[in-house]
């Protein structure tokens, strides 16, 4: 007979406890821990399928549990979903860094929660996929902060690979009469204190007349 799946809950808020109660009734073996990194010790020897952790635990305890989970369970053997009590992107990203597989709101519908748990425990059952082996173009917005006639610096959440090509389009290029995308090549990238990357992009296909216009425009800024 197949062993029942085991889910461990770490949290103590009322809505979180309700979710645990619901899961217990769904033929899923589960335990509720009110917090404490030491409680993690009890599960080291057990085959755990899923941890559900409430990030609202006090004193960053949730992150310590996540860190402990990473070290003791290596996350390859179990899945982790975190419960985020408000719309905090930062908390979400921070928890993703610990290898968390998914997140949810404590106000999630119980049926949706059950479906999420099942899809995490048996991902292949609920995920439909197909091989799609091709190059595609993606588009995103960056912040151009510095410019010269030969290149620019732009901030974004992507650290560009050295030598990688990209195309740029912004109002500044329209101002100098260029209405086509400017082809660029990444030549340097470094992290900034604002958790973004500063990427240096060298212009590759900017004609001499546009370059000249850009130079004049930049010199005007000097006078401002």
Q: Within 60-119, which residues bind another protein (CB under 8 A)?
A: 60, 63-64, 67, 70-71, 74, 89, 92-93, 96-99, 101
Sole window of 1-9, 50-58, 79-87, 152-160 interacting with another protein (rule: CB under 8 A): 152-160
The interaxial angle of helices 14-24 and 110-121, nearest 10 deg, is 60
Among 198, 203, 206, 213, binds another protein (CB under 8 A): 198
3 state DSSP class of 126: helix
Pick from 13, 157, 189: which is nearest to 93 by CA?
Answer: 157
Sign, Cα dihedral of 132, 135, 140, 142: positive
Q: Tell me, rounded to whole angstroms, the distance of Cα 163 from its chain centroid.
A: 25
Residue placing its CB nearer to another protein in the complex, 13 or 156: 156
Q: Which CB sits closer to another protein, 18 or 67? A: 67
Characterize 111-123 residue by residue with b for buried, 16 or more Cβ atoms within 10 angstroms of its Cβ, and e for exposed: eebbebbbebbee
CA distance 9 to 199: 42
- Of 14, 9, 32, 22, nearest to 109 by C-alpha is 22
Sign for the pseudo-dihedral over CA of 109, 115, 120, 126: negative
Nearest approach in angstroms of CB 185 to another protein is 11
Q: How far is the CB of 42 from another protein (least distance, A)?
A: 21
- Between 24 and 204, CB nearer to another protein: 204
Of 25 and 215, the one with the shorter C-beta distance to another protein is 215
In this chain, which of 160, 206, 210, 213 binds another protein, going by CB under 8 A? 160
Size of the site for another protein (CB under 8 A): 71
Window of 38-46, 49-57, 77-85, 121-129 that interacts with another protein by CB under 8 A? 121-129
**From residue 27 to residue 46, what is the string marking binding to another protein with x (rule CB under 8 A)?**
--------------------
């Amino acid at each position: 007979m197949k062993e029942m799946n085991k889910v461990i809950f770490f949290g103590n808020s009322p809505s979180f406890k309700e979710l645990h109660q619901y899961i217990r009734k769904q033929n899923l073996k589960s335990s509720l821990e009110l917090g404490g990194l030491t409680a993690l010790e009890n599960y080291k020897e057990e085959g755990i399928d899923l941890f559900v952790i409430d990030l609202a635990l006090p004193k960053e305890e949730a992150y310590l549990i996540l860190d402990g989970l990473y070290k003791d369970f290596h996350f390859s053997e179990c899945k982790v979903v975190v419960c985020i009590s408000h719309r905090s992107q930062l908390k979400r990203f921070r928890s993703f860094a610990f290898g968390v597989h998914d997140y949810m709101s404590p106000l999630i519908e119980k049926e949706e929660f059950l479906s999420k748990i099942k899809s995490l425990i048996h991902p292949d059952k609920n995920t439909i996929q197909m091989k799609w082996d091709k190059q595609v173009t993606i588009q995103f917005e960056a912040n151009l902060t510095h410019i010269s006639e030969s290149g620019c610096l732009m901030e974004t959440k992507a650290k560009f690979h050295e030598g990688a090509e990209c195309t740029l389009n912004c109002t500044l290029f329209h101002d100098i009469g260029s209405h086509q995308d400017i082809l660029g090549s990444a030549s340097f990238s470094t992290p900034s204190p604002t958790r973004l990357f500063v990427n240096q992009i060298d212009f590759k296909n900017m004609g001499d007349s546009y370059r000249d216009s850009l130079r004049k425009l930049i010199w005007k800024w000097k006078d401002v």
